[in-house]
Copies of this chain bind each other. A is one copy, B any other.
Amino acid sequence: MFEFELEAVDKGSGARAGKFHTPHGVIHTPVFAPVGTLATVKALRPSDLHALGSELILSNTYHLYLRPGDELIRDQGGLHSFMGWDGPILTDSGGFQVFSLSNKRQLDEDGVTFSSHLDGSVHRFTPERCIQIQENLGADIIMVLDECPPPDDYDYVSESLIRTHGWAEKCYLSKTRSDQALFGIVQGGIFSDLREESAKFLTGFDFPGFAIGGLSVGESKKEMYQTLDLLEPLLPADKPRYLMGVGAADDLVNGILRGIDIFDCVLPTRLARHGAAMVAGGRLNMNNSQYAQDSGPIASDCTCYACSHFSRAYIRHLVKANEILGHILLSMHNVHFLTQLVRELRSAIFSGEVSQFSETFLQHYAQPEPDSVST
């Protein structure tokens, strides 16, 4: 169980292609996982995700713990059965949401006490509790509890790292299910010595995979890529590497070139609900009047259901009228776009053309305007 087969390694970069075996099927890496925060990838059905080629989805421990509750999901046969998705699932530890969503929180060495963003009720996550919740949910890949600190405050990140490492060890020791892979999470902000320290500490445990946390949280892209460059030789080559919460197309390309195998992000579905379509050149804001009479598809080379059946004019109409079908079609298109991009990169790794493919893609990719569509 949880064998990671390396199938191809690119000579000119850190890029690699592999297969990660889980109880619910093989994940072909590199892979992009859409996010189903509340046990549903927003606006999509499990059958859509299969049709889109998604091989892994992520769900959120913090959210599911609060509602409908991890014990309810356990009693309903676990998350796969509850949400009708028979493929691999990854659950995060909830740590990120405690720090980004809850109104109040109090940290101590043993865990974090926080108030729910839903009703203010008080809860506590310890490493042991966090594993217990994820064992109730029953995902294939589960994560250690970590703190995601502001990336550029050295003193804070340094202090936080000690706590996060202690939690990782406790998670490692408290895990009981053999059909779940527990990944460690490397933290350390933008500081190379702290990242190095974290990688060394965590690789001292026999985790079946390693995540890189605390990126895409305000640091520059250059800082993100430098951190990935630093970590690439420090993480074991024979285990999957997961860059958490990253889903911009250029970051996927740059991450794959630096040896990342797994990505997840709410970006494609969140952009969809804001009316934005992801395309090779960047993003289209489908609210714009320029699409009002445009009878072409979102992307002429795209084979998704939205592009096969509907015009930009129709999708713009749906977006302007805030129709659910607009969210559905753009969610399909955006998830398809990222899934397809990662699949093409995987093919290019096998054919030895990943550097060339990446260069061409990035040349044509325009960074979205910061205020073009709110994410």
Interface of A with B (CB < 8 Å)? 38-40, 42-47, 67-68, 72, 75-77, 82-84, 292-293, 295, 305, 309-311, 313-314, 316-318, 320-321, 323-325, 327-328
Q: Is the CB of A317 within 8 A of B45?
A: no
Q: What 7 A-B pairs have minimum CB-CB distances, sorted nearest first?
A: A43-B324, A68-B317, A40-B325, A84-B309, A38-B321, A40-B323, A76-B313
Q: Is the CB of A317 within 8 A of B75?
A: no
With contacts A42-B324, A43-B325, A321-B38 known, is A314 near B83, CB below 8 A?
yes
Q: Which residues of B contact A295 (CB under 8 A)?
A: 76-77
With contacts A67-B320, A76-B295, A293-B75 known, is A45 near B325, CB below 8 A?
yes
How many Å from the CB of A244 to the closest CB on chain B? 23
Give the CA-CA distance A328 to B84 in the complex, in Å. Answer: 15
Give the residue of B75, B310, B318, B327 whose beta carbon is less than 8 angstroms from that of A324.
B327
Q: Which residues of B contact A305 (CB under 8 A)?
A: 45, 47
Most chain B beta carbons < 10 A, residue from A47, A75, A313, A324: A324
Give the residue of B38, B84, B328 whose beta carbon is less than 8 angstroms from that of A310.
B84
With contacts A72-B293, A76-B295, A309-B84 known, is A39 near B324, CB below 8 A?
no
How many Å from the CB of A31 to the closest CB on chain B? 23
Nearest B residue to A68 by beta-carbon distance?
A: B317
Q: What would 20 more interface pairs be, CB under 8 Å, given A38-B321, A68-B292, A68-B317?
A: A38-B317, A38-B318, A40-B318, A40-B323, A40-B325, A42-B324, A42-B325, A45-B325, A47-B305, A67-B320, A67-B321, A68-B320, A76-B311, A76-B313, A77-B295, A82-B311, A82-B314, A84-B310, A84-B314, A324-B327
Q: Is the CB of B38 within 8 A of A323?
A: yes
Nearest B residue to A314 by beta-carbon distance?
A: B82
Q: Is the CB of A313 within 8 A of B45?
A: no
Interface CB pairs A-B, < 8 A, 7 = A40-B318, A40-B325, A45-B325, A68-B313, A72-B292, A76-B313, A84-B309
With contacts A293-B75, A325-B45 known, is A313 near B40, CB below 8 A?
no
Copies per complex?
2
Q: Is the CB of A72 within 8 A of B313?
A: yes
How many Å from the CB of A205 to the closest CB on chain B? 35
Nearest B residue to A66 by beta-carbon distance?
A: B321
How many Å from the CB of A288 to the closest CB on chain B? 14
With contacts A68-B292, A72-B293 known, is A314 near B42, CB below 8 A?
no
Q: Which residues of B contact A67 (CB under 8 A)?
A: 317, 320-321
Q: Is the CB of B39 within 8 A of A314?
A: yes
Q: Is the CB of A317 within 8 A of B46?
A: no
Give the CA-CA distance A37 to B241 in the complex, in Å. Answer: 48
Q: Which residues of B contact A72 (CB under 8 A)?
A: 292-293, 313
How many Å from the CB of A42 to the closest CB on chain B? 6
Give the residue of B42, B293, B320, B325 whose beta carbon is less than 8 angstroms from that of A323.
B42
Give the CA-CA distance A321 to B43 in the complex, in Å. Answer: 13
Q: Which residues of B contact A44 (CB under 8 A)?
A: 325
Q: Is the CB of B324 within 8 A of A82?
A: no
How many Å from the CB of A68 to the closest CB on chain B? 4
Q: Which residues of B contact A320 (CB under 8 A)?
A: 67-68
How many Å from the CB of A58 to the closest CB on chain B? 16
Give the CA-CA distance A317 to B84 in the complex, in Å. Answer: 13
Q: Is the CB of B328 within 8 A of A45?
A: yes
